[in-house]
């Protein structure tokens, strides 16, 4: 890997780190919310993505994409729908367009560039392993129970108490939550492996 690519990966990692630190500091600044919102997948994902870039560890980066990519896709669809029509589809981004914490809204913009930058980082580093999804499953398992123990239904961190969108399925919610993440992680990991492992093998 050339020095330019090395520096580019470090720059991407620095962007993730800055947004991750800002997210954590901004959360701590809101004393009424306590420290619980730090447990959001988005905030932890930013820090882990930064570490993955600094270590040139594509497995760490891919593991976060497995958790974040599909939820971020829905966030972006809802965001741009609201931006151009004035109405959201699922109510996911309503908070962004209401009065509130400006810095928090700026930090939320990472939903737009997070996935493209992560994919670009994997493209440069190359995907060397196929079992990165194990990290994803371990992370969601730990954070589900951590979020249930340390947050309230009103905070609903990581949507562990009820769906963050305006729809629900008539089944036991924890099962629904884990099933949803199992499907999202599986789909994303298959796509990443097909794209990046294939490209890597073709170059050899």
Question: Counting Cβ atoms within 10 Å, is residue 156 exposed (0-12), middle (13-18) or buried (19+)?
Answer: middle
> Per-residue pLDDT tens for 189-203?
999 999 997 554 445
What is residue 48's predicted lDDT score, i.e. its pLDDT?
97
* Euclidean distance between CA atoms 25 and 31, whole angstroms: 11
Q: pTM of the predicted model, to two decimals?
A: 0.90
pLDDT of the chain along its 204 residues, tens only? 788 899 999 999 999 999 999 988 888 776 566 667 788 999 999 999 999 999 999 999 999 999 999 999 999 999 999 999 999 888 889 889 988 788 889 999 999 999 999 999 999 999 989 999 999 999 999 999 999 998 889 888 999 998 876 666 678 889 999 999 999 999 999 999 999 975 544 454
* Euclidean distance between CA atoms 31 and 100, whole angstroms: 15
What is residue 26's predicted lDDT score, i.e. its pLDDT?
85
The DSSP code for 90 is S
Smallest CA-to-CA distance from 60 within 37, 36, 39, 44 is with 44
What is residue 31's predicted lDDT score, i.e. its pLDDT?
54
Q: Token match 């990519």: residue?
A: 69
What is residue 20's predicted lDDT score, i.e. its pLDDT?
94
* Euclidean distance between CA atoms 50 and 19, whole angstroms: 10
Domain range summary for the chain, segments of one domain joined by +: 3-203
What is residue 204's predicted lDDT score, i.e. its pLDDT?
43
* Euclidean distance between CA atoms 162 and 173, whole angstroms: 7
Q: Which segments of 86-204 does DSSP mark as H helices, in order?
A: 94-97, 102-108, 110-125, 133-150, 173-192, 198-203
Smallest CA-to-CA distance from 62 within 119, 1, 18 is with 119
What is residue 168's predicted lDDT score, i.e. its pLDDT?
65
């Amino acid at each position: 890997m050339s020095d330019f690519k090395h520096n580019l990966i470090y720059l991407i990692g620095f962007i993730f780190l800055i947004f991750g630190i800002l997210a954590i500091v901004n959360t701590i600044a809101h004393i009424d919310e306590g420290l619980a919102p730090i447990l959001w997948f988005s905030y932890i994902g930013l820090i882990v993505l930064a570490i993955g870039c600094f270590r040139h560890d594509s497995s760490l980066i891919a593991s976060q994409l497995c958790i974040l990519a599909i939820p971020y896709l829905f966030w972006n669809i809802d965001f741009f729908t609201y931006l151009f029509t004035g109405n959201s589809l699922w109510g996911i981004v309503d908070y962004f367009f209401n009065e509130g914490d400006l810095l928090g809204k700026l930090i939320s913009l990472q939903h737009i560039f997070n996935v493209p930058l992560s994919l670009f980082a994997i493209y440069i580093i190359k995907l060397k392993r196929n079992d990165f999804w194990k990290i994803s499953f371990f992370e969601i398992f730990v954070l589900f129970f951590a979020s249930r123990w340390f947050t309230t239904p009103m905070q609903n961190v990581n949507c562990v108490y009820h769906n963050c969108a305006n729809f629900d399925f008539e089944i036991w919610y924890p099962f629904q939550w884990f099933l949803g993440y199992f499907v999202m992680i599986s789909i994303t990991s298959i796509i990443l492996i097909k794209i990046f492992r294939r490209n890597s093998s073709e170059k050899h």
